[in-house]
Structure formats: structure tokens, C-alpha cells
Structure 1
Amino acid sequence: MAKKRITLLIGILLLVITLAFMFIPYKTALVFYKENTDQIEAFLPMNTGDHFQIIFKHSIHLTDVIEKYEVTRNHDIKQNEIVYEEFGIGMPSNAQEGEEFVNEDGKYYIKNLENIFPSMNIRNGKTVSEHRLVWGNQAEYRVWFNDYFQPGAWFKLKIEKLTLSQYLKEVKIHE
């Protein structure tokens, strides 16, 4: 009888531990939430200090605009740099105080940005739908937004910790 009781207690303890691991946030990720909801559309595992880029085709001058970001210790998104080829609607024409404006090899760079975002709203292009997500130490991984999202869809991006349950059931972005 005591043996059955110990076996039952061990089984219950293992079940409680397993359930706890399923619902305790543990893995940091760049999370794409559908519009203003808590519905996760996709996520990309990231750690503090990791870098990523969002590249989009400007809808008017049809050239790439590269926005470079970093994950901060506070799980914010820090914009470090913008790279573009044409001045036009929505594009900066110079650097602000503390930033550096560089014209090199036919591209404009605004470097040393210190823009911190707790979250960002982003729309996948509808008319010119060529958004890309790039990540890795040497920006070696690249996916097209259209492989994961509908053209015209919009998202709130945040750096958050996911539970094992979310990690296993949601759409993981991969190369």
C-alpha cells in the first residue's frame, strides 16, 4: 500500500512539474501579434543582444529600405541604423543630433540611432509586398513576410518570453 502511495505521489509530482514547464515563460522571442490582439501569428527565437533587420521595398521609389534592430536587456527593440537609396516620402533627409549621416556606394546610411521601442506596429506590404526579415550574426538568415503573413496584414512586434506550450503550438519563423 505504501509503495502505491509513493508511486502515485511521484506521478502527481511529475505531472505538476510538467504542467509548470508548459506554462512558465522561458524562451525569449520576437513575437508577431495579429493587429492589436494577443493572438500570435509567428515568432522568431531571439536573445538579448541579438540583431535583426526588416527590409521593405519602398512603395513609391521601389528600392529597398533596411532598418536594423537589436534586442535590449529590457526586452525592448532598439533601432540602430537605416539604409536606403532614394530620398522621398517617409524617408529621413538627414541625421539628428548624435546620429551619423553617411552617403556611401550610392546608399544613404543613418547610423548610431538610439530609438527604443517597447513594441512596433508593422504592415506587410499590399501593393508592393516585398518585406523581409533578416537575422543572424552575419545576417545570414532571410525569410519573406509573404511566406508567413498575408499581404496587407499588420502586426504588433514585441520581444517577449514564450511558454513551452506557445513555443510548441505557434508558428516558428525559420530559415
Structure 2
Amino acid sequence: MNRKKMVPLILFFIFLVVFAFFIPVNTSFTFTEHRVENPKTFYMPLNSENKFQIRYVHSIHLTEVIESYEVTADQEIRLLSMQYENMAIGLPGYAEEGETFSLQDGVYTLTYDDKVIDSFVMLIGDVDAELAFVYRDEELNLKKQLVRGKSYTFRVAKLSLYQMLKGVTIDG
């Protein structure tokens, strides 16, 4: 091949590689620093399992709370349920429209009929109480992976290779 034909071919290949570098392809759970000038994103790749939980110890009651979620086909977050043993500050004592509230064996369960959100903000409290992200039967200690005292926007998003290289993986 002569040089005149090689140059456009090489340029096309370079363009293709650069273009592919910025196309969002990898669906991930993301934790992005909230209300900061240059937010850092922490991410965990999402596989075929679409259910996850956030488990924490309530800072006042010192009892466990388990929030269960599901990722929708549109990469939104469907709230499934919340389970806890003590009602009071910050924990609901009744069901609102589209919710069911029950008590069984000393555990309160608030179940959502079809509540879907695109994201939520999570504060990583600077207290010595557990906070874990549970996915694929593995627990990830968020207080060790993220910065205590900071808030993070949690969402499910497709990331490009560039975004993944720029972010921080928290896959255990």
C-alpha cells in the first residue's frame, strides 16, 4: 500500500479508538462527591444481578437497618423495602400511599409498591457505626472506601473507559 492510502486509514483508526474511549458502555454503581468543585467518582461495575442493599446501624438506636433496592432496565433505582427493629427518629412508623407497613417477629418492614428514583444523596457519617453496600452476597464497607463526613450522590450510570480511568473503583 502506498503512503497516500495509509495515512487516511491510520487517521481513521486513531479516530475510532479515541471515539470508543469516550462512549459510555460499562454500567456501574456510582458514588460521586456531592457539592464539591471537582467531584471524584467512585464506582463498582454492575453485572447481571440487579438487586442490592444498603445496610447500616442507625446512629441513635444503634440497631440495624436494611434498605433493599433493584436496578431497573432504564438504569433507575427501584425501592423495594426497608427493615428495622426500632421506630423513632428518621424511621417511618406508618405507610404512605403506595407503601405497605408490617411488623413480624419484632422487625418492621416498609415495602414500596413501585417507587423509582434516578439517584439519592448519601452522607458517610463520621461516627463509628456500620455502613455497608451489599451486592452479589458481598459486603463493601463504605466507611473504608469513601470519605467520612462527605456526601455522595448514588446512581446507576454507564461509564466510558475515560470516566473509569478518571474514577476510583471500589470493587472490594
Give, in whole Å, the separation in 1 of the partners of 2:148 and 2:63.
18
Quick check: 1:106 aligned with 2:106? yes
2:157 pairs with 1:160: yes
- Separation (CA, whole Å) in 2 of partners of 1:48 and 1:141: 15
Q: Does 1:26 align with 2:10?
A: no
State the secondary structure of the residue aligned to 1:33. Answer: strand
Q: Deviations over 1:2-60 (max 9, x none)?
A: 52223322221211111011111112222111113562330122268711111111011
Moved over 3 A (4+): none
CA distance in 2, matches of 1:106, 1:150: 34
Residue in structure 1 matching 2:170, options 145, 155, 173 = 173
Identical columns (%): 29
Q: Measure, in 2, the Cα distance between the counterparts of 1:162 and 1:76.
A: 15
CA contact 2:58–2:129 (8 Å) conserved in 1: no
TM-score if structure 2 supplies the norm length? 0.88
Structure with the higher strand share, 1 or 2: 2
Counterparts of residues 16-165 of structure 1 (less than 5 Å)? 16-37=15-36, 39-46=39-46, 50-136=50-136, 140-165=137-162
CA offset at residue 161 of structure 1? 1.4
SS where residue 96 of structure 1 aligns?
coil
The DSSP-based 3-state class of the residue aligned with 1:21 is: helix
1: CA distance between counterparts of 2:81 and 2:5?
60
Which stretch of the first structure deviates more once superposed, 94-103 or 12-21?
A: 94-103
- Following superposition, the deviation at residue 134 of structure 1 comes to 0.7
**Pairs aligned (count):** 171
Gaps of 5+ in 2: none
SS class of match (2:4): helix
Instruction: Give, as a single letter, the amino acid of the residue that structure 2 aligns with 1:9.
Output: P
Deviation for aligned residue 1:115? 2.4
Query: Aligned equivalents of 1:144 and 1:9: distance in 2?
Result: 50
Please give the root-mean-square deviation of Cα atoms over the aligned residues, in Å.
2.1
> What residue identity is the alignment partner of 2:151?
W
- 2:98 & 2:8 partners in 1: Cα distance? 62
Which sits farther off after the overlay, 68-77 or 46-55? Answer: 46-55
